[in-house]
Amino acid sequence: MRPTAGLPAVALPSVGTALRVVESLLLSGGQRTARRNAWTAVQEDRRRARDRVEAQHVLEAVSDRTSRAT
């Protein structure tokens, strides 16, 4: 197939943008806000979990170092 001359190129929306458009059509404002808040909470929980794992590794490393020194 040859491109048709004179037709402008159209950028396709990202998947995220398409999902937000569908969400806005299907859900009322309150539900949309609740869903967005829930997703933000999930992301924050994941960040805290990563921080806990990192802190645990640091504590274990310090504990190993101090137990060998005594």
Residue 22 and residue 19: Cα distance in Å, rounded? 5
Q: Are the C-beta atoms of residues 56 and 64 closer than 8 Å to each other?
A: no
- pTM check: above 0.85: no
Mean pLDDT for 5-25 is 81
Task: Read off the pLDDT of residues 21-63 as tens digits, 9 standing for 90 and up.
Answer: 887 787 777 888 888 999 999 999 999 999 999 999 999 999 9
Higher pLDDT, 9 or 51: 51
Residue 18 and residue 12: Cα distance in Å, rounded? 9
Q: What is the three-class DSSP state of 5?
A: coil
What ranges make up the beta strands (E) of the chain? none
What is the pLDDT, as a whole number, of residue 69?
Answer: 60
